[in-house]
Amino acid sequence: MRKINLILILILSLISVFTLSPFYTFAQVQDTDVTLSISPEYPSAKENVTASLSSYVIDLNKANISWSLNNEEIGRGIGKKTISFTINDLGLETILNVNIETTNRQSIDKTIIIPSGNIDMLWEATDSYVPPFYRGKALVAREGKFKIVAIPSIISQSGQINPNNLSYAWKKDNNGQTNSSGWGKSSFSFKNSYLDIINKIEVTVSDISGNTKLAGSINLQTTQPKILFYKKDPLLGVQNQNALNNDFTVGTNGETIIAIPYFFSPKNLSSSNLTWNWEVGNSKINTPTPKNEIRVKGEEGKGGRTKIKIVVSNIKTLFQEAVKEIIVSF
């Protein structure tokens, strides 16, 4: 019995030693425990960028953090989780490194290599009518068509990458455009909805490895179609130097006034989609031939004024309509 008691005492003593003796262990931290991100995500050359750290495992507020840009320290401090810097000029990579030393003296290094490049985004109206003498840019009315072309300039260690050797991922109003995205698809076309006044178009461009990425975006705004009146001379044609206004005086021989629309679709003015409704002195008249010209002439020996009005509409759309009127004197 005494022997059994001694054995029990010995066992209890050993249990108490292991139970009461303090000991500590530290889990080994990993690179994946910390996330390094930059904003904007795909910066262009010479753009200002902010880098930030986040972690659900490590208390970064107590960590000693040092930042280096292209091997030169740019910031250090306890809990310094963010840093701002400027991307290198075109042709030079930007290398950002951050070292994190935790409170238990474990160390983590994170690095981001930002490629050198930028993206120019150009757009055009593909079905917007403007007269041949118009020197400006054709604008797009609601339910008109846009075409956007991305022109990337990405420089790697081996030189500038051919734009045809890049992949393009397009978005319209935050919605991916799968059918328009892919290898070498540097352009994107779409028809504006009558509900949209502004469309945001984004593109992300990447090389075959997926490690080099750039992004660009553009906001495209629609416009309202309009009409301008011009005098048409029988010998010289349309006098497009100046549009007519309310001080236009018609001579005794009469004048031809031509209505020229801007920014309607389609481009073909003879399209059956376009209707032309004229009024002279508040009275509707039959559509003349050509549809956008009218001959006005006062009565012999009488002066006066009258209103000339035209309404042009695209019957295939809801909002493509323009009204123009002018007061002419005789």
Question: Which tens digits make up the pLDDT trace of 114-133?
Answer: 887 889 999 999 999 999 99
Predicted confidence band of residue 188 (pLDDT cuts 50, 70, 90): very high
Please give the model's pTM, rounded to 2 decimal places: 0.75
Look at the domain 31-114 and name its fold: Immunoglobulin-like (2.60.40)
Count CB-CB contacts under 10 A for residue 81: 17
Topology given in CATH for the domain delimited by 117-221: Immunoglobulin-like (2.60.40)
Is the pLDDT assigned to residue 187 strictly greater than 60? yes
Q: What is the pLDDT of residue 20?
A: 40
pLDDT value for 241:
92
Identify the CA nearest to 116 among candidates 144, 97, 141, 89: 89
Per-residue pLDDT, averaged over 308-322, amounts to 95
CA 292 – CA 13 distance, rounded (Å): 109
Percent of the chain with pLDDT over 90: 64
Question: Which amino acid does the sequence have at 230?
Answer: Y
Q: Which of 20-24, 29-33, 197-201, 280-284 has the lowest mean pLDDT?
A: 20-24
94 near 114, Cβ under 8 Å? yes
| Cα–Cα distance for residue pair 118/205, rounded to 1 Å | 10
Share of the chain above pLDDT 70, in %: 90
Asked if residue 252 has pLDDT above 70, the reply is yes
Report the chain's terminal Cα–Cα distance, integer Å: 138
Indicate whether 110 pLDDT > 80.
yes
Fold annotation for 226-329: Immunoglobulin-like (2.60.40)
**Taking Cα atoms as reference points, which of 65, 175, 131, 159 lies closest to residue 263?**
131
Residue 233 pairs with which residues in a beta bridge? 237
Q: Which helix (H) or strand (E) holds 154?
A: strand 145-156
What integer pLDDT is reported at residue 121 of this predicted model? 96
The full set of domain ranges for the chain reads 31-114, 117-221, 226-329
**What average pLDDT does the structure give for the chain?**
88
According to DSSP, the residues that pair with 125 across neighbouring strands are 146
What pLDDT digit, counting tens, does each position of 71-89 carry? Answer: 999 999 999 999 999 998 8
Alpha-carbon span 148 to 216, nearest angstrom? 12
Does pLDDT of 23 surpass 50?
A: no
Q: Is 168 exposed, middle or buried (0-12, 13-18, 19+ CB in 10 A)?
A: buried
pLDDT above 50 (res 193): yes
Report yes or no: 50 and 43 within 8 Å, Cβ to Cβ: no
Domain 31-114 identical in fold to domain 226-329: yes
Task: Tell me the H-state helices in the chain.
Answer: 2-20
